[in-house]
Amino acid sequence: MLPMWAIWLIVSGVFFLGEIFTISFLLFWPGVGAFLAFLTSLIVPENLVAQILIFVVSTIIMVLFTKPLVNKLFKNKDNTSMNNSAVLGKKGIIIKKIDNSNPVGQVKVNGELWSAIKSEKDKSINVGESVIIEKIDGVKLLVRKP
């Protein structure tokens, strides 16, 4: 059987690995708690109750006190939309022509370059023309003339 210090180290690693694949920043705290339990198991290897207590208490304390602090520090203060739907309905300028022979062009919206496809009703959209963003289709914007 594995020694307790190895088990705590594996548990900590699993939590940290899980944190890499999530965006919640919640698995980090039990990872730290498991690491603290690992350190405790090196100091008092025979006291499993102390190790579990360190894990549980440190995790609860970190979740209760540091999670709200992190949320406060990284809060979006100006309420700016942080997703791609922020460009819907906006005006853009065509940078690369879109027509039937070249179905994917480029449009500049809010200072960013996007791949763009034209709506069915437009025959072609030339460089420099203004467009309205109707929809996001994968990584391309569906645009139309105003």
Distances (CA, A) of 31 to 8, 59, 62, 103: 9, 8, 11, 49
Check residue 67 and give its pLDDT.
67
Task: Spell out the per-residue pLDDT of the chain, length 146, in tens.
Answer: 899 999 999 999 999 999 998 877 789 999 999 999 999 999 999 999 999 999 999 999 988 888 677 777 776 665 555 456 778 889 999 999 998 888 899 999 988 889 999 988 888 899 999 999 998 888 889 999 98
Q: φ, ψ for residue 136 (rounded to 5)?
A: -105, 125
pLDDT for position 78? 56
Q: pTM for this structure?
A: 0.51
